[in-house]
Amino acid sequence: MSKRQIRLGAFVPGTSQHVAGWRHPQARPQDSHNLKYFIELAKTAERGLFDAYFLADVPVTVDPDTTPDLGLNGTFSAGLEPVSLFSALAAVTEHIGFIATASTTYEAPYNLARKFASLDHLSEGRAAWNVVTTSGSVVSKNYGINDALLPKERYERADEFIEVAQKLWDSWEDDAFEYNKQTGQFFTGEKLHPPRFKGKHLAVHGALNIARPPQGYPVIVQAGQSEDGRELAAKYAEVIFTAQQKLEDAQAFYRDVKSRLIKYGRHADDLKIMPGVSIFVAQTEAEARAKYDELNAYIHPTLGLNLLKQLGGFTEDLSQFDLDQTLPEHLTQAQNGASRQQLILEIARKNNFTIRQLYQWVASARGHWTLIGTPEQIVDQLQAWFENEAADGFNILPPTTPASLDDFVDLVVPELQRRGLFRTAYEGKTLRENLGLKRPENQYVLEKRHTSQAS
C-alpha cells in the first residue's frame, strides 16, 4: 500500500474568506460573479494539486431589518450558485474535484440528486456534495415556511434525504443503457429501479432521469458538529469539513467520529476528516505576521465590533468603550455560558488583548484554526495534526483571494511535497480515486447478487 498522504480542499470564495480580505490590494471583489476569475482560481488550485475546490452556500443574504452594519459586511452577501459555477469550471479543468454545498432542508431530493449527477457526468467523476442541514429560521422564510424545522427534525430529514438520493443515483444500473441500434433496444428494462421511497419527511416514487453518475455517487461531504451531525457523518460521509482550533479537540473529534463508523459496517479509511485552516504564510515569520496584521487593519471597526458582540454574546454596545483598551471588567465574566463565548473571553485574558485586537482575532479566525508563519512552521503544524489522529487532510481557507491561495500553492505545497506528505501528480481521474475512496456499488445490483446467492 502506498504511503498515507494529506488530502487538500481549497475553500475559496470569490470575495475572500476573511471579512476584510476583499480590501487587500490584490483582491478582486468586482470579479466575484465573473467566470473568468474563477477559472484562474480553479487553475491555481489545480496547479497546487488540490483534491477539490470547495464552496459553501446558504440560501440567504444580509437583510436591512437584521444587519446592523449593512453595506460593510459583504463577503457572503452575493455570489454564484455552486453547482452551476462548478459545471462551468468542469469544462475548463482536468483533475480538480468540486465540492458543492447544498441543503437537505431547502431542496427536493429529485432536483438535488439530478443536479449533482449532472455535475458528476459533466466533470467525468469529479463531483462531491457537501450535505448541510442549514440552521436558522431566517432561511426558512425565504421558502415560505414560517417555522424552521427543529435541529432534530432537520437531521432526520437529512438522513432520509441521503438515503433517497442514493436510491435515485442507483435508478439505472451502470450498464443499463444498451443503445443497440440493431435491435432498437435503448436500455434493458430490468436494469431500471425506481426508488418507491416513503419516509417520514420525504417520498419519491419514480426513477431519476439521468444515468448513474460516473462515481456511482458523488462523494458525500458533511459539515456539522453536533451529536446528530456526527452520527449522520458516521453513517454516510466520506469527507468531513470541521472547524477545530486545538490539536486535542481535533483529536477527540477525529476519534469520536471514526469510532462511530464500525456500527455502520464502515472502515476508518472510508471517511476523511479535513478541518478548516486559515493560513498566512511568507518566507519569514515577520512577513507572515505582517500579512495577518495588514488584513486585520482592514476590518471596519463597526463590523468588527458587531461580530464580536454577536459571536461573543455581549448585550451592550461595545463602541462606547475605548477600542485600544482591554474589555471593561464587568464584561470579562461569562454572560451566556456558551462555549464560543468562553473561548473568546479566555483568548482575551490570555493575550491581554485590547477590544480592537479581540475583534480582529474573532473576525479573522471565525471559528477556524489559524496558522501564521514560514512554510516550515506551517507544515510542522499540519504534519503534527495529520500524524497524530487529528486530520486526514485540510480544507485550506485562504484569507484573501487570490493572494493567499497563490501563497499556499507557491510556498506550502512544495514543502508538503518535500516531506513526502503530499502528491506530486494526481493519482487518478476521478475525485474518489484521488481521495482514495472506493466507488459504491449499485444497491440493487448488490441486492440481486445476495438474492441469487441465497437461493
Ligand X SMILES: Cc1cc2nc3c(=O)[nH]c(=O)nc-3n(C[C@H](O)[C@H](O)[C@H](O)COP(=O)(O)O)c2cc1C
Extract the annotated binding site for FMN. Answer: 57, 101, 155, 226
| Smallest separation (angstroms) from ligand X to the CB of 342 | 18
Taking CB under 8 A as the criterion, the residue among 10, 12, 52, 85 binding a second copy is 85
Q: 244: which residues sit within 8 A by CB, 6+ positions away?
A: 250, 253, 275, 369, 390
| Rg, Å, the chain Cα set | 23
CA trace torsion 406, 29, 397, 305 (10° rounding): 130
Strand extents, DSSP E, 88-202: 97-103, 127-132, 177-180, 185-187, 197-198
Taking CB under 6 A as the criterion, the residue among 132, 308, 355, 378 binding ligand X is 132
Asked if residue 135 binds ligand X (CB under 6 A), the reply is yes
The region of 73-81, 307-315, 328-336, 365-373 touching a second copy under the rule CB under 8 A is 73-81
Q: Residues 96, 52: contact at Cβ < 8 Å? A: yes
| Smallest separation (angstroms) from a second copy to the CB of 236 | 20
Taking CB under 8 A as the criterion, the residue among 75, 166, 215, 395 binding a second copy is 75
- DSSP annotation of 197: E
Q: Which three cell numbers stand for residue 341?
A: 463565548
- Specify the residue, 277 or 379, whose C-beta has the smaller distance to ligand X: 277
Residues 30-59 that bind a second copy (CB under 8 A): 30, 33-35, 39, 58-59
Residues at the binding site are: 57, 101, 155, 226
Q: Which three cell numbers stand for residue 359?
A: 475583534
Residues 354-383 that bind ligand X (CB under 6 A): none
Quick one: 263 exposed, middle or buried, by C-beta within 10 A (0-12, 13-18, 19+)? exposed
Q: Could you tell me the maximum CA-CA distance found in the chain, to the nearest angstrom?
A: 85
Asked if residue 142 binds a second copy (CB under 8 A), the reply is yes
- Specify the residue, 26 or 388, whose C-beta has the smaller distance to a second copy: 26
Taking CB under 8 A as the criterion, the residue among 11, 53, 169, 298 binding a second copy is 298
- Specify the residue, 180 or 283, whose C-beta has the smaller distance to a second copy: 180
The region of 27-35, 229-237, 244-252, 446-454 touching a second copy under the rule CB under 8 A is 27-35
Q: Residues 22, 30: contact at Cβ < 8 Å? A: no
Please tell me the distance from the alpha carbon of residue 405 to that of residue 398, in angstroms, as a whole number. Answer: 5
Enumerate the β-bridge partners of residue 98: 53, 127
Pattern 240-279, a second copy, x by CB under 8 A? ----------------------------------------
Q: Residues 167, 201: contact at Cβ < 8 Å? A: no
- 259: amino acid identity, one letter: S
Asked if residue 103 binds ligand X (CB under 6 A), the reply is yes
Residues 263-282 that bind ligand X (CB under 6 A): 276
The region of 184-192, 268-276, 327-335, 404-412 touching a second copy under the rule CB under 8 A is 184-192
Helix, strand, or coil here: 373? strand
CA trace torsion 227, 233, 239, 243 (10° rounding): -10
Quick one: 223 exposed, middle or buried, by C-beta within 10 A (0-12, 13-18, 19+)? buried
Asked if residue 297 binds a second copy (CB under 8 A), the reply is no
- Specify the residue, 210 or 416, whose C-beta has the smaller distance to a second copy: 210
Asked if residue 6 binds ligand X (CB under 6 A), the reply is no
Asked if residue 165 binds a second copy (CB under 8 A), the reply is no
| Smallest separation (angstroms) from a second copy to the CB of 297 | 11
Q: Which residues of 159-172 are buried (b: 16+ CB within 10 A; e: fewer)?
A: bbbbbbbbbbbbbb
Taking CB under 8 A as the criterion, the residue among 17, 44, 134, 171 binding a second copy is 171
245: closest CA among 278, 293, 291?
278
CA-CA-CA-CA torsion sign (273, 275, 276, 282): negative
Cell 454564484, residue located: 80
| Smallest separation (angstroms) from a second copy to the CB of 436 | 26
> Strand pairing of 177-180 and 185-187?
antiparallel
Taking CB under 6 A as the criterion, the residue among 35, 39, 56, 138 binding ligand X is 56
Residues 101-140 that bind a second copy (CB under 8 A): 106-108, 110-111, 114-115, 117-119, 121-122, 124, 138
The region of 53-61, 326-334, 345-353, 404-412 touching ligand X under the rule CB under 6 A is 53-61
Residue ranges in contact with ligand X by CB under 6 A: 56-58, 101, 103, 132-135, 151, 223-226, 228-229, 241-243, 276
